[in-house]
Structure 1
Amino acid sequence: MIRSGEIPDEPDLFDALYVFDTFIEPTSAHIQQLRFAVLCDLILKSSGNVSESAFKNASYEDWDFYNILKSKEEKQKDKKKSEIEAFKKFMGGK
Structure 2
Amino acid sequence: MGPVIERWYWIVKFPAEFNLDLGLIRMTEEFREVASQLGYEKHTSLIDISSIPSYDWMRRVTQRKKVSKKGKACLLFDHLEPIELAEHLTFLEHKSFRRIS
Query: TM-score normalized by structure 2?
Result: 0.24
Larger-gyration structure (1/2): 2
